[in-house]
A and B are shown apart, each in its own frame.
Chain A
Amino acid sequence: MKSKLLAFLGSALLSGTAVAGGYQVNLASQRQIGMGHTGTGIQTGTSSIFFNPGALSHIRENGVTIGASAISSHIAYRGTEPSGFSAEADNDFGTPFQVYAAYTVDELLTVGLGVYTPFGSGVRWGNEWNGRYALNEIDLQAIFFQPTVSYKIGDKLGLGLGFVVATGGVNLQRVLPVQGQDGTEGAIELDGGAKTGFGVNIGAFYQATEKFSIGIDYRSKIELEVEGGDVMFSNIPAAARGNFPEGAEFSASLPLPATLSLGIGYKVNEQLTLAADVSHVGWSEYESLRFNFSKPVAGSGVSESARNYDDAFIFRLGAEYQLNDKLALRGGAYYDQTPVQDGYLTPETPDADSRGLSAGIGYALSEKFSVDASFLYINKKKRTDSAEFSRSVAGTYKATAYIPGLALNYKF
């Protein structure tokens, strides 16, 4: 069982793309995905470890949740009009996952552990399109481990603190504009694992009345730092090899931005729960993508391109309707602002304001076992950009994603 779980974890490290603004992946709980990924202002079960550790102390039983999403995402590209060329990013089925375990120590104290994948990207354009010198493909992975304590103060207030340990890695491949006599172009691949990063997830939850609840949650910024990553070249013509030296290493740093969320919940009646969230994501931390090389590459020890992301807001609405003892129906929607400013679009995150629509069901198999299934559809606005400041690939991009997901809950 243990080895199976580890294998599952290993295969699940590739998170998807086109899932949220920038390279954030908002797929933290199958129940909450069904509800438009709301969850800051309500008690969400074990996944409150992610959404609001303050609410965790309000759960009534111990529990374990394991879930994953399968992402089918596509990005279409056309050169700036009028143009005759186009491309499509062929993306893997990324599988963001989540594992939560919560244990109620006593009436007031609950502890828990969460493992989840809040950031990542996987885009595959291939090596023939006109943007290949900017990007063939990228895989960005981040996995967060979060031990958590939550404490109830009185009947209504809960405070929670999670300590986040983050790790991950990046793989990026580009074609280089150097060609041999037969026309073959060179290529570069950067591959490196990240150093362990640390952060916190703090939340407060207040059950104001029987019907009305409110919560606030802050997940701190974590810097994903790679040192001593491999720089690999292929098909470099002999005359240019001095410019693309063997054995070079790179270091880079990517901010995983802070997210501040405010949420409310409203129980209309015994059956119907409504939730609304607004999140502020501190994307302005991402100013440039910079690689430092241990040996000069193409005559420079540094490769840097401007990103200058803006902070962004996400607005979410969700509802759950408890049809009977066993079956819950869910629905939700959200609007996710892009952090990418005009002139800064890149094929690694060809981002735009996006709209998400979700539906889900929960079904109790027994007293102890239940399953949650979700389906999320994301439609990013079509976006045309000059890419003049990112010095990247101008044109029109359009992305959609279909994300089914399944989770298993066990209470004890």
Chain B
Amino acid sequence: MKKFFYKSSVLALTAGILLTSCDPEIDAPDPSSGEADFTSYLAVGNSLSAGFADGGLYRESQLSSLPAILADQFEEVGGGEFVQPLFSEAQANGSGYLKLVGFTPQGTPITETVTTNLAIRGLTSKNTPLYTKFTNNINNLAIPGIRVADIKTAGYGSTQGNPYFERLTDNPGLTYLQYVQAQAQAANHTFFSLWIAENDVLAYATSGGAFSGGMLNSDAQRITPVNTFTANYTELVDALTAGGKEGVLATVPDVTAVPFFTTVGGSVKQLLAANKIPAVVALTESGNSRIVITPSQINVEGGVYFPLTASAYAPLLGTPTGRYWRLLARQVSSSPDPVTVNATLTAILANYQIDTTQMFGLSQGNPLPSALVLDAAEQVNIKNATTAFNDIIKAQATAKGLALWDAYGYFNSIKNGFVRNSVTYSPSYITGNLFSLDGIHLTPRGSAIAANEIIKAINSKYNSTVPQVDETQYRAVLLP
């Protein structure tokens, strides 16, 4: 009897092993929405959520926007349709965007703007473009360029406001907050993402603080006061969580760590070394005081960064040029009339005490413009604001019981790069694969990697198992 049992169990074991796995299979646990409900997902944010990339908004970049990738994954756990304000196939190039066309012999990338098949329907009185309208109800409410400071501004959706918001509404008096409330009601959303605060420091950073006061003050290029930020952000979160809705908030990354600021410094350093130049002179912030920059300060945290916009001016170092100021005068002049432009130029040069016959960047008389340099004092302002904003965002996540993706912490953690699926990623321009040609916004691949981080935050908060996305199905920078 014993023998019989032994024999039959050996047989059963053998047969079992043979039959259970004809071809190997790995069972996936069923994805679950946990305590969250992804039926109707609403994305609120700025360019990073709108799908803005390569310095523009276009159909392909919209299709691989961060919220679109998230919505695809939410579909596995009961998520419904996710409508985006896509540009049509015929106007697929939307606002136009940068395309890489080659490299100089020195290895500097050459970009060109795509100008065909745009979705421009007309121009404003200031000659800026207006885009083809898309006024249906949508799920991706993100607006490129929007700041938390802007959400209660009446007229932000008018032709005088933000053209990306203007295209979404026929009501020029509507504030963005009102628009979000109306769309939330229409969608009857069950889940939302909110990643919006970047532009409250970014415009200040990309313009080197040059227009944050003084003669050429522009409110849009100042850092948002913390009081305004707190009030607006809280109101926005209140609107999105009304009725106990669930969602995920994201913090502001360190905007000075993107390739826009870390790419040009290296070549400036080389240039200075090659010509044995010990230091350069630059304007700081919005006034006319000068600072001296030594090569050892370049591309060091707490030192000096050069934005991508400086790359066109680096070769002019040491020449008697007023090129930057001429272009600026044309831009800010109240009229394109040459006489008016000239008067504006004279006033600007007097204000900043510029003598364009002196050596550009190497003399007290003709310093580098503040907008081409992000110096230590400006970085401190950015850091303080970013920390304050992120504290508020984190506090809101805790108060409302929402998931939180600490984008600040994440992007800091990958400063030295990482490897996934045998591909190396880093915050380097083009070769880092994460950032698009504008050096600020993510590539589709970068968005997919960010989406996976957000999914981790959501899963951990709501005990859900939203599946990760295969980031390799999304492209990085396309080469000519």
A397 to B26: give the CA distance in the assembly, Å.
8
Partner of A130, one of B76, B470, B477, B480: B470
Pick the contact of A79 from B76, B103, B465, B468 — CB < 8 Å? Answer: B468
Residue A240 CB within 8 A of the other chain = yes
Contact present for B479 and A393 (CB under 8 Å):
no
Task: Say how far B6's CB is from chain A's closest CB, in angstroms.
Answer: 15
Q: In the docked arrangement, what's the CA distance between A179 and B100, Å?
A: 12
Contacts A85-B470, A133-B423, A177-B433 given: A239-B480 contact, CB under 8 Å? yes
Which among B13-21, B291-299, B378-386, B395-403 touches the partner chain? B13-21
Contact residue among A77, A80, A131 (Cβ-Cβ distance under 8 Å from B422)? A131
Question: In the assembled complex, how far is the CB of residue A254 from the closest CB belonging to chain B, in whole angstroms?
Answer: 19
- Contacts known (A82-B31, A239-B103); A76 close to B25, Cβ less than 8 A: yes
**Contact status B421-A76, CB under 8 Å:** no
Q: Smallest Cβ distance from A200 to chain B, in angstroms?
A: 37
Contact with A along B453-480 (1 / 0, CB 8 A): 0000001000001111111110111111
Q: A130 contacts B24, CB within 8 Å?
A: no
In this assembly, does A290 line the interface, its C-beta being within 8 Å of a C-beta of chain B? no
Asked if B338 is at the interface of the complex by the 8 Å CB criterion, the answer is no
Minimum distance in angstroms from B39 CB to a CB of chain A: 19
User: Which of A183, A377, A399, A400 makes the CB contact (< 8 A) with B478?
Assistant: A183
A78 and B26 contact, CB distance less than 8 A: yes
Q: Is the CB of A76 within 8 A of B469?
A: no
Q: Is the CB of B24 within 8 A of A399?
A: yes
User: What class of interface size applies to chain A in its complex with B?
Assistant: 35 or more
Contact, CB under 8 Å: A400 / B472: no
How far is B470's CA from A393's CA once the two chains are assembled, in angstroms? 12
Cβ-based interface call for B28 (8 A): yes
Instruction: With CB as the reference atom, state the residue of chain B lying closest to A18.
Output: B24
Q: Which residues of B contact A180 (CB under 8 A)?
A: 478-480
Contact with B along A384-411 (1 / 0, CB 8 A): 0000000111101111100000000000
Asked if B213 is an interface residue, CB under 8 A from chain A, the answer is no
Residues in A72-101 with C-beta less than 8 Å from chain B:
74-86
List the A side residues contacting B422 at CB < 8 Å.
131, 133-134, 174, 391-393
Minimal beta-carbon separation of A154 from chain B (angstroms):
41
The answer to whether A76 touches B26, judged by C-beta atoms less than 8 angstroms apart, is yes
Query: Contacts A237-B480, A400-B21 given: A179-B26 contact, CB under 8 Å?
Result: no
Residue B243 lies at the interface, judged by CB distance under 8 Å to chain A: no
Residue in contact with B17 in the complex, picked from A76, A240, A379, A396, CB distance below 8 Å: A379
List A residues 284-318 near B (Cβ within 8 Å): none
**Also in contact, A82 and B466, with CB within 8 A (given A239-B100, A382-B26, A393-B422):** yes
B480 to chain A, nearest CB (A): 5
| Interface membership of chain A positions 238-280, coded 1 if the CB is closer than 8 angstroms to chain B and 0 otherwise | 1110000000000000000000000000000000000000000
Least CB separation from A78: chain B residue: B26
Asked if B76 and A76 make an inter-chain contact with CB atoms under 8 angstroms apart, the answer reads no
Question: Taking CB as reference atom, which chain B residue is nearest A238?
Answer: B480
Separation of A179 and B102 alpha carbons in the complex (Å): 14
CA distance A180 to B433 in the complex (A): 14
| B23 at the binding interface (Cβ < 8 Å) | yes
Report B-chain residues with C-beta under 8 Å of the C-beta of A83: 28, 467-468, 470
Q: Are A183 and B475 in contact (CB under 8 A)?
A: yes
- Within the complex, the shortest CB–CB distance from A381 to chain B, in Å, comes to 11
> Does residue B40 face the partner (Cβ distance < 8 Å to A)?
no
- A400 and B23 contacting across the interface, CB-CB below 8 Å: yes
* B73 touches A (CB below 8 Å): yes
Contact present for B421 and A134 (CB under 8 Å):
yes
Among B73, B459, B479, which residue has its beta carbon within 8 angstroms of that of A239?
A: B479
Contact B419 A86 (CB under 8 A): no
Interface residues of A in 114-168 (CB under 8 A from B): 130-134
Within 8 A of A (CB), among B23-80: 23-26, 28-29, 31, 73, 76
Specify the chain B residue showing the minimal Cβ separation from A83.
B468
Residues of chain B within 8 A (CB-CB) of A133 are 421-423, 472
Q: Which residue of B lies closest to A240 (CB)?
A: B479
- Compute how far the CA of A400 lies from the CA of B21 in the bound complex, rounded to whole angstroms: 8
| Set B17, B421, B468: member contacting A84, Cβ < 8 A | B468
CB-CB < 8 A to B73: which residues of A? 84
Are the CB atoms of B14 and A78 closer together than 8 Å?
Answer: no
Q: A84, A179, A377: which contacts B467 (Cβ < 8 A)?
A: A84
**In the complex, A278 Cα to B16 Cα: how many Å?**
26
Residue of A nearest to B30 (CB): A82
Task: State the CA gap A84–B31 with chains docked (Å).
Answer: 9
Residues of B within 8 A of A396 (CB): 26
Min CB gap A327→B, angstroms: 21
Q: Which residues from B are CB-within-8-Å of A394?
A: 420-421
Minimum CB–CB distance from A297 to chain B (whole Å) comes to: 14
Residue-by-residue, is A340-366 near B (CB-CB < 8 Å gives 1, otherwise 0)? 000000000000000101000000000
For A77, A80, A239, which residue has the most chain B Cβ atoms within 10 angstroms? A239
User: Smallest distance from the beta carbon of A353 to chain B beta carbons, Å?
Assistant: 15
Is there an interface contact between A178 and B465, defined as CB atoms closer than 8 Å? no
Question: Judging by beta carbons under 8 Å apart, are A179 and B475 in contact?
Answer: yes
Instruction: Give every chain A residue within 8 A of B423 (Cβ-Cβ).
Output: 133, 177
Residues of A within 8 A of B102 (CB): 239
Could you list some 7 contacts between A and B, CB below 8 A?
A: A82-B31, A84-B73, A84-B76, A130-B421, A237-B479, A239-B102, A239-B480
Closest 8 CB pairs of A and B: A84-B467, A237-B479, A134-B422, A85-B470, A82-B465, A398-B24, A76-B24, A133-B422
Given contacts A82-B467, A178-B479, A382-B26, 19 further A-B contacts (CB under 8 A): A78-B26, A78-B28, A79-B470, A81-B465, A82-B465, A83-B468, A84-B31, A84-B467, A86-B28, A130-B470, A130-B472, A131-B421, A133-B423, A179-B476, A179-B478, A377-B17, A377-B18, A391-B422, A400-B21
